[in-house]
Amino acid sequence: MRTVRTVRAAALAAALLSTLGVAAAVTPAADVQLASSAQLVLAGRVQRRDIVLHVTRASGGAPIEGAGNLSAQLGGRAVPVTARGAAYILSTQGFKGGPQALQVVVAHDGIHELLSATVRLPRPPDRLAVLEKHGYAAWWVLNVVVLLLAARLIMRRKKPTPRAP
């Protein structure tokens, strides 16, 4: 019974230690001006696997809103655009990390304007980089759990019954 409690406590400690590096809060980045024309300003930021864009008028800063007012291409391919209030969200699912050409067509006041920019998409982290970033903490936690489980199995092993001569 005592070993069961020990193993449970060790597993709980391992789980807590493995989440220490992940629990850091991530603050959203501020918008950066990507492109502008005589009438419009395009600002945005890369957020996880999406690009969040805001289009405002150059004079007065009034936002251009609406579901059909913006279409976009990323790296020469059409990207689905979702309008949420004054923001437009472009999905970057399926694109490799690194710099990508962004072309946005904005419809306003009966005209269409093309705004071009280059955005840098984050590279997806590989598994080894994640382990290196956390100082191999997950590796050590796994080792401790395996050793505790092995010790428990050894302690529960039955002794062989003696044979009669």
pLDDT by residue, tens only, the chain of 165 residues: 566 666 566 665 555 555 554 433 444 568 888 999 999 999 999 887 889 999 999 998 889 888 788 999 999 999 999 998 889 999 888 888 889 999 999 998 889 999 999 999 887 766 666 666 666 777 788 889 999 999 988 888 766 777 776
Q: Identify whether residues 16 and 67 lie together within a single domain.
A: no
159 by Cβ neighbours in 10 Å (0-12 / 13-18 / 19+) ranks as exposed
- Which CATH number does the domain housing residue 67 bear? 2.60.40
Question: pTM to 2 decimals?
Answer: 0.58
**Count of CA atoms in the C-beta half-sphere (13 A) of 29:** 13
- Do 40 and 117 lie in one domain? The reply is yes
Is-contact 99 118, C-beta < 8 A? yes
Show Cβ contacts of residue 91 under 8 Å, excluding neighbours closer than 6 positions: 49, 50, 79, 80, 82
- Tell me if 162 is assigned to some domain: no
Looking at the fold, whether 108 and 64 belong to one and the same domain comes out as yes
Closest Cα partner for 89 from 109, 105, 119, 67?
Answer: 67
Inside any domain, residue 163: no
* 65 and 140 assigned to the same domain: no
Phi, psi of 156 (to 5 degrees): -85, -5
- The answer to whether residues 17 and 37 belong to one domain is no
How many whole angstroms separate alpha carbon 102 and alpha carbon 91? Answer: 12
Q: Are residues 15 and 69 both part of a single domain?
A: no
User: Is residue 50, in this structure, part of any structural domain at all?
Assistant: yes
Is 8 among the domain residues? yes
- Work out the number of other CB atoms within 10 angstroms of the CB of residue 115: 20
Domain count across the chain: 2
**What pLDDT is recorded for position 14?**
58
| Residue 68 sits in the same domain as residue 103 | yes
Domain of residue 112, residue span: 32-121
Residue 13 confidence (pLDDT):
59
Please indicate, yes or no, if residue 99 is contained in any of the structural domains.
yes
The pLDDT assigned to 23 comes to: 39
Same domain, 64 and 116: yes
Give 6's contacts (C-beta < 8 A, 6+ positions apart).
Answer: 148, 152
